[in-house]
Structure formats: C-alpha cells, structure tokens
Amino acid sequence: MKILHLIHRTWPYHGGAERYVIEHALAGKRWGHESVICSTDAWDMSWLVSRSGQHIQKRMDIWNGIEIRRFPVVHPPFQNLFRAVLRRISPCGPDRYFYPNPFIPSLHRWLSKDRGFGFVHANAMPFMLYEGWYHSRKTGAGLVVVPHPNIGEKYRRISPIHYFEGCQRDIIRDSNLVVAQNSFEKELYMDMGVPQERVLLLGSGVNPAEFRNADPESVLKRFGIKGPVILSLTAHCKERGTEHIIESCRHLWMKGCKFTLMLAGPVLPDAEENLAVWSESAGEFSDNIVITGYIRNRDRIDLLAAADILLQPSRLDCFGIVLLEAWVSGKPVVGCWSGGMPDMIEDGQNGFLVSWGDVATLTNRIDVLLKNPQLRGSMGERGKKMVLAGRTWDAVTDRFYRRIAECGTGKVTG
C-alpha cells in the first residue's frame, strides 16, 4: 500500500514530531508499504509565518527509499489581516489559519488529485490534519490523524480552543484511527465522541543502537565544560520551563553548588529576547550557562552521554522523546506532570515529576540528584530497562502498522 505522511517539517531537521514521522515512514518498508512524506520547506518554525527564518530550497529528496516532497510556504502581504479574514470566511478557517499555521497553496493543489494513496497519516498542526482530511474525503483513502495537541497538565490545561474551534473535532471523529501520544489525550478524544476502539495510545520511541558509540568527552571539550552537567534539550521557550530552569539553577549556584547548565536546541522566536533576560538574571553565574542553538542528532547523542541530569519541566510536550533518549543513555530525568511524562516517569523511581512553574520543587529535585550519584545511576538504569522493554521505534511502529492493517482502507465517514 502507498501511504502519505503529512508533517509541517521533516528530514534533515531533527525534532520530536519530525522524528516520529520519519520513523513511521521507514517502518512502512518493513511492512511492505511505500511511503511518501509531504511537508513544507521550513527549517525554522519562524519561516511558517515570516521570512525571518531559514528554509530548505530543495523541493524533493529520496532518503533511505522514502520520497520527500517539500511545498513552499507563501508569505502574503498584510499576512495577519489576511489570516484574520480567512479564519472567519474560509472552510475550517478558525483552526486552519490560526497562528502559526502557514499558507501552502501548492500542497492543497497537489492533494486535490488522486495520487494512489491507500492511507493518509496526518500529523501535528491543524493545517496538515485538514489537508489529510481533504485528500481522504476526495479520494477515498483511509485516514489516521496524530493531532499532537499540547494542552498542558491534566488538571491545569493550556486552553486548546484555537486547536479545536474549527473543523478539528470533525476531522478527529471522522478518521479511521486517532493516535494519542498520552493517556490524557486519549481521554480528550473519547470525550469528543471518538469510540475507544478507534483511539490508539501509542507514544514515541527511540533507537538504542544510535547511542552505543556516544562520545561525551568530545562535546565537553568543545564547550570547555568541566564538572557536573545539567542538560535541557528542547526548543526553548517559557512554556517549556526554560525560565524556571534558570531560576532553579541560580538558587543552587548561590548555595555553592558547582555545575554547568546547558540549554541545547533552538530558541523559539517568542523566547529570544526573554532568554537573554533570563540568562542575565543569573547575575555572576551567567558564565555557568551554555546556550548551543540547534543541535544535530550526532551532537545530541554525545550531549546526553555527557549530561548528569536531564531537565524537561515543560507543559508544551505531548510526549517527550528526549526522556527516552536520556534513559537509554543511563541518565535520570526531571519532567513535568504534563503530556506523556506522567505515563512514563515513576516519580522517585526512574526520575522526578514537578508541576509546571514550581521552582522550589524543581530546585530541590536537582539538588537531590546532584548530591547523590548512586540515585542518579539507579534512576537511569530503571529508565533504560523500561525503554528497552517496549519503547524502541520497532516496537512502537509495529503497534501502529498492526492497527492500520486492522483498519483496512476506505472513505472516511464524514
């Protein structure tokens, strides 16, 4: 069967949703399917809404047997006004055009024709779920959607009103299969009227073989770091807890704790100015903070091997692949009561959980781990065993394709 994978950004960019899709496309070959990935030309997320970011000029690639097509983002004049109008008058406009969903008319035109796909696998942003739904209704292909809605902690939600205020609820209800990244999401979809048998609680995975030849010394030498390393590896912004991490570390430095905080990964546009302010708030300890920018996958592996603790006190991650990567590297984690983290982290066993914004508890958990190497080792080992038992990409993608085989093909119900 020929399967279309839709995602807002793809290889060679390395990120959570991007990795999720590329792994499912690769696994499709193992199941006898042909995979095509359609995406935008964005490298930086800012390119989706402005010309300030980087983009990829090459429109087509063949990578490991997977066809990758990139469609250019259009930046019309008076974009915010244009977006506001379309949200009011366009079909599915309220969620299809809310910021930062981009304009990609060439993808819509391409999907208006039958390309021979038996199934569409639509991911992450509302405009991509809409395009998958549109193509499925037009051609009769089956549809599986993976919404990735970031809605925060179970009892303290980030309002998902923009995400679900247009056609997204109909798209989710009409799909042959809805993939949830965590149990909180699964409950959300069932509350929308999706039958339990059409919701697959899946999550993400990791490839342990990638981490076997990590070189932690090379990355420590490159950045001139000695002593314990606390790592935050994400796209940095307030919702991902960057401000809280810096504040917690400042408290510990003031108490005489010696370590380096590494903020690895891109800085999102809404946090660029704030990150400078947050770093300055560390005062005399600002030299203890290393900000790397975008990290290639090879460097990512070495960084995780070099770290002593991974911090992910974020309420903007629906799963958190980096937790699996830290565990397979034998490291303890501090996560948040948000997204898929409570499904994976056994508080006090393979890591710690904190509430978003709870700087006092975050500071305490970092302090406990810094002072107890034996606890760090035991937590990392428990996490690694859990990952190897069922969180490899082979295990995750096999669960996905078994369900696709059960669904069969056929026009969506709406």
Report the pLDDT averaged over residues 344-370. Answer: 97
- Under the banding of pLDDT at 50, 70 and 90, the label for residue 411 is very low
| Alpha-carbon separation of residue 131 from 50, 59, 213, 390 (angstroms) | 21, 19, 40, 32
Question: Strand, helix or coil at 148?
Answer: coil
**Residues 123-141: pLDDT tens digits?**
999 999 999 999 999 999 9
Name the DSSP letter for residue 64.
Answer: T
Structure-block tokens of residue 46:
């800012």
Q: Is the pLDDT of residue 409 over 70?
A: no
At 316 the pLDDT is 86
Question: Strand, helix or coil at 359?
Answer: helix
Q: From the centroid of its chain, how far is CA 409?
A: 28
- Under the banding of pLDDT at 50, 70 and 90, the label for residue 154 is confident
Q: How far is residue 246's CA from residue 261's CA, in Å, rounded to a whole number?
A: 8
- Under the banding of pLDDT at 50, 70 and 90, the label for residue 15 is confident
Q: How far is residue 77's CA from residue 120's CA, in Å, rounded to a whole number?
A: 32
At 414 the pLDDT is 39
DSSP-assigned states of every residue in 204-216: --B-GGGGTT--H
**Alpha helix stretches (DSSP H) within 307-372:** 321-328, 341-344, 359-371
At 208 the pLDDT is 96
Closest CA to 105 of 90, 121, 123, 89: 90
Q: Is the pLDDT of residue 412 over 60?
A: no
DSSP-assigned states of every residue in 223-266: HT--S-EEEEES-BSGGGTHHHHHHHHHHHHHTT---EEEEEBP
- Under the banding of pLDDT at 50, 70 and 90, the label for residue 329 is very high
Q: Is the pLDDT of residue 146 over 50?
A: yes
- Residue length of the chain: 414
The pLDDT mean for the chain works out to 92
Q: Is the pLDDT of residue 361 over 50?
A: yes
- Show the domains of the chain with their CATH numbers: 2-205+393-407 (3.40.50.2000), 208-390 (3.40.50.2000)
**Residues 335-345: pLDDT tens digits?**
999 989 999 99
Query: What percentage of the chain exceeds 70 in pLDDT?
Result: 97
**Residues 81-112: pLDDT tens digits?**
999 999 999 989 998 998 889 999 999 999 99
**Residues 33-65: pLDDT tens digits?**
999 999 999 999 889 999 988 999 999 999 999
Structure-block tokens of residue 405:
């085989």
The amino acid present at 128, given as its one-letter code, is M
Q: How far is residue 307's CA from residue 258's CA, in Å, rounded to a whole number?
A: 14
Structure-block tokens of residue 158:
């980030």
